[in-house]
């Protein structure tokens, strides 16, 4: 019997990429590939790249080069680039990085097994010439939904995957149920998993290139989202995080812009799911009904990942966004009037073309009064193909760097203060890992206001963790007794077995 082909998926970037990697893993497992964790143990290393900002692109190139080095002293025979950077640059990336044996775009995902087999056998697959994926579907959201089956939508699945999938799927592989439900294989053992709510974006922020290579906004059907969530719960997942480029637009192409308000309680009712979290919310699209559902539905985290980006009106207009400091603060007041413990995070861009000292001071005013739990700060840089790249009034790099440093210091101070405000609070904490070894982190989890990777964590006191015999995936009540920056130190209030 011939040795099975092995493949490792190396994922960079956001949670959306993690879902895409698990869809690719599902397709490959269904076709007989053996999935391994380490690239050094694989015949083919597939690097799911990020193409968002320069730093992320550099990380992706570094990962490809690192995987290529394995070919000299490991099992690895081929290195293949997929993901946003591969889609965004295609042939240009292939020419600039000959170390990659293949550069595959989203249109190749349905045939990923054949593509990898060709490359592994020494054949070549021509990299695509990038195109604006917004032009692949109709302008009308409803017409777009009807035509979406003919366009590659990573994380959505397709009819061809259903037709070609064997009836006896390998253990641990999500059954593709429905015309656009994905095959999926989990690549992690965490009790938390992301579920893709939609793909693409219809907004035209002047600094962002994502819509050009991710395409127009397309919602997944509620039945597909529910089916995938049920399968994840069967795999031991306790918390799901809904991801897309813009979750507040969910349902507009299905004829109901309020569909998320209906879907959230259904997801929260799935047997085995303890928490549902929604990410990527647009402040300009927040509506009272959605705030009510996010703040009052049992098992739905009162968590608001709001993409403010700035608060000075002139800068926001140049970004092709809406709002101002006072309107944003009113939104936060509305949220906290309904859920005082609600978590809020956001990202901000400093040094945008034309940003004056007064604009930057206005942003500092907003951040100072917003009481955010987590803050990401980025210095502006031109992105290929964006409107802002052609703007005049660019700030010099020294000014951008100085403002980045100033706001980062302020953000660190303010988020630490916000953590201290939670002293004495009793929180529901999802236990994520328990490592009581000499060099371990002990028992660690996350409260409702803390998303994976970005927002800090809860560290249990050793005595209370031992008393409660904590295990990953368990939801426990804990009282905050200390802070370490944005991280909380908490005492578990439950006994073992409860």
Binding residues for [4Fe-4S] cluster, by number, are: 14, 50, 84, 201, 205, 208
Tokens of 142: 């409803």
Tokens of 5: 């082909």
323 vs 363: CA distance, rounded Å = 12
Q: Which residues are annotated as a binding site?
A: 14, 50, 84, 201, 205, 208
**Quick count: other Cβ atoms within 10 Å of Cβ 484?**
12
Indicate if the alpha-carbon torsion angle 450, 451, 455, 458 is positive or negative: positive
Torsion of CA 10, 16, 20, 21, to 10 degrees: 20
414 vs 12: CA distance, rounded Å = 29
**Quick count: other Cβ atoms within 10 Å of Cβ 430?**
25
273 vs 322: CA distance, rounded Å = 35
175 vs 188: CA distance, rounded Å = 18
497 vs 126: CA distance, rounded Å = 57
Dmax (CA) of the chain:
71
Tell me how far the alpha carbon of residue 29 is from its chain's centroid: 23
Residues whose CB falls within 8 Å of the CB of residue 449, separated by 6 or more in sequence, listed in order: 301, 302, 303, 341, 342, 343, 344, 373, 455
Tokens of 271: 């047997």
For strands 303-305 and 275-278, give the pairing: unpaired
Computed over its alpha carbons, how large is the radius of gyration of the chain? Answer: 23
Kindly state the DSSP code that residue 487 receives in the 8-state scheme.
Answer: E
Cβ–Cβ under 8 Å, residues 417 and 374: no
390 vs 383: CA distance, rounded Å = 10
Tokens of 202: 């219809």
88 vs 57: CA distance, rounded Å = 11
């Amino acid at each position: 019997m011939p040795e099975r082909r092995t493949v490792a998926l190396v994922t960079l970037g956001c949670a959306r990429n993690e879902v895409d990697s698990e869809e690719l893993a599902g397709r490959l497992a269904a076709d007989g590939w053996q999935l391994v964790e380490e690239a050094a143990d694989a015949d083919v290393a597939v690097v799911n790249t990020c193409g968002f900002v320069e730093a992320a692109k550099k990380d992706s190139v570094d990962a490809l080069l690192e995987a290529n080095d394995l070919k000299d002293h490991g099992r690895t025979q081929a290195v293949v680039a997929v993901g946003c950077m591969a889609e965004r640059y295609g042939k240009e990336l292939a020419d600039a990085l000959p170390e990659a044996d293949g550069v595959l775009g989203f249109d190749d995902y349905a045939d990923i097994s054949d593509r990898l087999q060709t490359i592994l056998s020494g054949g070549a697959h021509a990299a695509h010439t990038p195109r604006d994926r917004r032009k692949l579907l109709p302008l009308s959201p409803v017409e777009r939904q009807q035509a979406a089956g003919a366009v590659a939508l990573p994380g959505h699945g397709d009819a061809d995957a259903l037709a070609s999938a064997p009836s006896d799927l390998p253990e641990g592989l999500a059954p593709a149920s429905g015309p656009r439900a994905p095959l999926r294989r989990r690549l992690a053992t965490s009790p938390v998993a992301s579920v893709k709510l939609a793909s693409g974006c219809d907004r035209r922020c002047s600094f962002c290139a994502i819509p050009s290579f991710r395409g127009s906004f397309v919602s997944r059907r509620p039945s597909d989202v529910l089916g995938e969530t049920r399968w994840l719960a069967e795999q031991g997942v306790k918390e799901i995080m809904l991801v897309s480029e813009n979750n507040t637009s969910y349902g507009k192409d299905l004829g109901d812009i309020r569909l998320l308000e209906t879907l959230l309680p259904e997801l929260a009712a799935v047997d085995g799911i303890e928490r549902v979290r929604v990410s990527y919310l647009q402040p300009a699209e927040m509506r009272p009904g959605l705030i009510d559902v996010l703040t009052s539905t049992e098992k739905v985290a009162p968590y608001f990942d709001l993409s403010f980006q700035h608060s000075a009106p002139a800068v926001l207009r140049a970004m092709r966004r809406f709002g101002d400091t006072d309107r944003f603060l009113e939104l936060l007041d509305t949220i906290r009037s309904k859920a005082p413990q609600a978590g809020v995070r956001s990202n901000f861009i400093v040094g945008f073309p034309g940003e004056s000292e007064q604009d930057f001071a206005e942003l500092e005013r907003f951040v100072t009064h917003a009481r955010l739990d987590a803050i990401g700060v980025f210095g502006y840089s031109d992105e290929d193909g964006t409107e802002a790249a052609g703007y005049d009034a660019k700030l010099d790099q020294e000014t951008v760097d100085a403002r980045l440093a100033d706001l980062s210091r302020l953000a660190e101070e303010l988020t630490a203060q916000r953590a201290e405000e939670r002293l004495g609070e009793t929180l529901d904490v999802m236990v994520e890992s328990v490592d009581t070894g000499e060099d371990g982190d002990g028992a660690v989890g996350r409260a409702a206001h803390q998303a994976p990777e970005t927002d800090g964590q809860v560290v249990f006191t050793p005595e209370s963790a031992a008393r409660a015999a904590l295990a990953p995936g368990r939801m426990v009540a804990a009282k905050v007794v200390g802070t370490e920056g944005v991280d909380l130190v908490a005492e578990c209030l439950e006994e073992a077995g409860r």
